[in-house]
Chain A
Amino acid sequence: MKLTLDIWRQKGASDAGRFETYTVEANEHMSFLEMLDVLNQELIGSGKEPVAFDSDCREGICGMCGFVVNGVPHGPVDNTTICQTHMRHFHDGERLRLEPWRAAAFPVLKDLVVDRSAFDRIIQAGGFISVRTGSAVDSNAMLVEKNKSDRAMTNAACIGCGACVASCPNAAAALFTGAKIAHLGLLPQGQPERTDRALNMVAQMGKEGFGHCTTIGECEANCPAHIKLEAIAQMNGDFLRAVFAKREESAGGGAG
Chain B
Amino acid sequence: MSLNSRIPSGPLDQKWSTAKKEMKLVNPANKRKHTVIVVGTGLAGASASASLGEMGYNVLSFAFQDSPRRAHSIAAQGGINAAKNYQNDGDSVYRLFYDTIKGGDFRAREANVYRLAEISANIIDQCTAQGVPFAREYGGTLANRSFGGAQVSRTFYARGQTGQQLLLGAYSALSKQIAVGTVKQFSRTEMLELIVVDGRARGIVTRDLVSGKIQSHLADAVVLATGGYGNAFYLSTNAKGSNATAAWRAHRKGAFFANPCYTQIHPTCIPKSGDYQSKLTLMSESLRNDGRIWVPKKKGDTRSPDQIPEAERDYYLERVYPSYGNLAPRDVSSRQAKYRCDEGLGVGPSGLGVYLDFSEAIGRLGQKVIAERYGNLFDMYEKITGENPYQVPMRIYPAVHYAMGGLWVDYELMSNLPGLFVLGEANFSDHGANRLGASALMQGLGDGYFVAPYTVSNYLAQGGRVKVDAGAAAVKDAEKEATGRAEKLLAVKGKRTVDSFHRELGNVMWENVGMARSAESLNKALKRIPEIRDEFWKNVSVPGTGAELNQELEKAGRVADFLEFAELLAWDALQRNESCGGHFRVEYQTPDGEALRNDADYAYVAAWEWKGEGKRQELNKEPLVFENIHLATRSYK
- Nearest-neighbor residue (CB-CB) of B273 within chain A: A29
CB distance from A222 to the nearest CB of B (A): 16
Chain A residues near B411 (CB, 8 Å)?
A: none
Chain A residues near B541 (CB, 8 Å)?
A: 44-45
CB distance from B350 to the nearest CB of A (A): 12
CB distance from B450 to the nearest CB of A (A): 7
CB pair A189–B131 under 8 Å, yes or no, is: yes
CB distance from A139 to the nearest CB of B (A): 4
CB pair A187–B125 under 8 Å, yes or no, is: no
Q: 1/0 contact trace for A76-93 toward B, CB 8 Å?
A: 010010001110100000
CB pair B175–A137 under 8 Å, yes or no, is: no
CB pair B543–A49 under 8 Å, yes or no, is: yes
Which B160-218 residues sit within 8 Å CB-CB of chain A? Answer: 161, 164-165, 168, 171-173, 175-176, 178-179, 185, 187, 210
Chain A residues near B548 (CB, 8 Å)?
A: 11-12, 110
CB pair A86–B384 under 8 Å, yes or no, is: yes
- Nearest-neighbor residue (CB-CB) of B143 within chain A: A146
Which A146-202 residues sit within 8 Å CB-CB of chain B? Answer: 146, 149-150, 152-153, 156-157, 159-160, 183-184, 187, 189-190
Q: How far is the CA of A45 from the CA of B543 in the complex (A)?
A: 10
Interface centre among A84, A120, A144, A150 (most CB of B within 10 A): A120
CB pair B187–A117 under 8 Å, yes or no, is: yes
Is there a chain A Cβ closer than 8 Å to B140's Cβ?
yes
The answer, among A49, A120, A146, for a CB contact under 8 Å with B137, is: A146
Chain B residues near A116 (CB, 8 Å)?
A: 66-67
The answer, among B75, B128, B137, B281, for a CB contact under 8 Å with A136, is: B128
Q: How far is the CA of A143 from the CA of B143 in the complex (A)?
A: 12
CB pair B552–A50 under 8 Å, yes or no, is: yes
Chain A residues near B178 (CB, 8 Å)?
A: 120, 124
Which B533-565 residues sit within 8 Å CB-CB of chain A? Answer: 541, 543-544, 548-549, 551-552
Which A44-89 residues sit within 8 Å CB-CB of chain B? Answer: 44-45, 47-50, 52, 54-64, 77, 80, 84-86, 88
Chain A residues near B336 (CB, 8 Å)?
A: none
Q: How far is the CA of A38 from the CA of B437 in the complex (A)?
A: 34
CB pair A134–B122 under 8 Å, yes or no, is: yes
Q: How far is the CA of A215 from the CA of B566 in the complex (A)?
A: 53
The answer, among A127, A134, A156, for a CB contact under 8 Å with B126, is: A134
CB pair A56–B386 under 8 Å, yes or no, is: no
Q: How far is the CA of A30 from the CA of B277 in the complex (A)?
A: 7
Is there a chain A Cβ closer than 8 Å to B74's Cβ?
yes
Q: How far is the CA of A101 from the CA of B27 in the complex (A)?
A: 48
Is there a chain B Cβ closer than 8 Å to A119's Cβ?
yes
Which B125-171 residues sit within 8 Å CB-CB of chain A? Answer: 125-126, 128-142, 158-159, 161, 164-165, 168, 171
Chain A residues near B544 (CB, 8 Å)?
A: 49
Is there a chain B Cβ closer than 8 Å to A129's Cβ?
yes
CB pair A52–B277 under 8 Å, yes or no, is: no
Is there a chain B Cβ closer than 8 Å to A251's Cβ?
no
Q: 1/0 contact trace for B565-607 toward A, CB 8 Å?
A: 0000000000000000000000000000000000000000000
Is there a chain A Cβ closer than 8 Å to B232's Cβ?
no
Which B260-307 residues sit within 8 Å CB-CB of chain A? Answer: 273-274, 276-279, 281-282
Is there a chain A Cβ closer than 8 Å to B506's Cβ?
no
Chain B residues near A131 (CB, 8 Å)?
A: 126, 129-130, 173
Known contacts A110-B549, A146-B136: A117-B384 contact under CB 8 Å: no
Q: How far is the CA of A84 from the CA of B132 in the complex (A)?
A: 26
Chain A residues near B95 (CB, 8 Å)?
A: none
- Nearest-neighbor residue (CB-CB) of A185 within chain B: B131
Chain B residues near A125 (CB, 8 Å)?
A: 179
Q: How far is the CA of A140 from the CA of B124 in the complex (A)?
A: 10
Chain B interface size, under 10 / 10 to 19 / 20 to 34 / 35 or more: 35 or more
Is there a chain A Cβ closer than 8 Å to B239's Cβ?
yes
Is there a chain A Cβ closer than 8 Å to B34's Cβ?
no
Chain B residues near A58 (CB, 8 Å)?
A: 239-240, 278-279, 281
CB pair B549–A52 under 8 Å, yes or no, is: yes
Chain B residues near A12 (CB, 8 Å)?
A: 548-549
Is there a chain B Cβ closer than 8 Å to A234's Cβ?
no
Q: How far is the CA of A132 from the CA of B279 in the complex (A)?
A: 38
Chain A interface size, under 10 / 10 to 19 / 20 to 34 / 35 or more: 35 or more
CB pair B133–A57 under 8 Å, yes or no, is: no
CB distance from A48 to the nearest CB of B (A): 7
- Nearest-neighbor residue (CB-CB) of B493 within chain A: A47
Is there a chain A Cβ closer than 8 Å to B634's Cβ?
no
Q: How far is the CA of A190 from the CA of B240 in the complex (A)?
A: 35
The answer, among A52, A153, A160, for a CB contact under 8 Å with B67, is: A160
Q: How far is the CA of A140 from the CA of B85 in the complex (A)?
A: 12
CB pair B125–A139 under 8 Å, yes or no, is: yes
CB distance from B56 to the nearest CB of A (A): 12
CB pair A143–B133 under 8 Å, yes or no, is: no
CB pair A133–B185 under 8 Å, yes or no, is: no
Known contacts A37-B278, A115-B66, A146-B138: A84-B543 contact under CB 8 Å: no
Chain B residues near A249 (CB, 8 Å)?
A: none
Is there a chain A Cβ closer than 8 Å to B344's Cβ?
no
- Nearest-neighbor residue (CB-CB) of B548 within chain A: A12
Is there a chain B Cβ closer than 8 Å to A22's Cβ?
no
Q: 1/0 contact trace for A94-117 toward B, CB 8 Å?
A: 000000000000000110010111
Chain B residues near A52 (CB, 8 Å)?
A: 549, 551
Chain B residues near A84 (CB, 8 Å)?
A: 380, 383-384
CB pair A145–B140 under 8 Å, yes or no, is: yes
Chain A residues near B282 (CB, 8 Å)?
A: 59
CB distance from A151 to the nearest CB of B (A): 9
CB distance from A144 to the nearest CB of B (A): 5
Is there a chain A Cβ closer than 8 Å to B626's Cβ?
no
- Nearest-neighbor residue (CB-CB) of A55 within chain B: B240
Question: Which residues of B come within 8 Å of A, CB atoms?
Answer: 47, 50-51, 54, 65-70, 72, 74-75, 84, 86, 122, 124-126, 128-142, 158-159, 161, 164-165, 168, 171-173, 175-176, 178-179, 185, 187, 210, 239-241, 273-274, 276-279, 281-282, 380, 383-384, 386, 449-450, 453, 497, 499-500, 541, 543-544, 548-549, 551-552
26 A-B contacts, Cβ less than 8 Å apart? Answer: A11-B548, A37-B499, A44-B497, A45-B497, A50-B543, A56-B65, A57-B70, A58-B239, A58-B240, A58-B281, A62-B65, A62-B239, A109-B549, A120-B175, A127-B172, A128-B172, A128-B176, A129-B129, A130-B176, A133-B47, A134-B122, A134-B126, A146-B137, A149-B134, A156-B131, A189-B128
Task: Supply 19 further A-B pairs (C-beta < 8 A) apart from A128-B176, A133-B47, A156-B132.
Answer: A27-B274, A57-B74, A58-B278, A59-B279, A59-B282, A61-B75, A62-B239, A77-B383, A84-B384, A116-B67, A128-B172, A128-B175, A133-B126, A137-B125, A137-B129, A143-B139, A144-B136, A159-B164, A187-B131
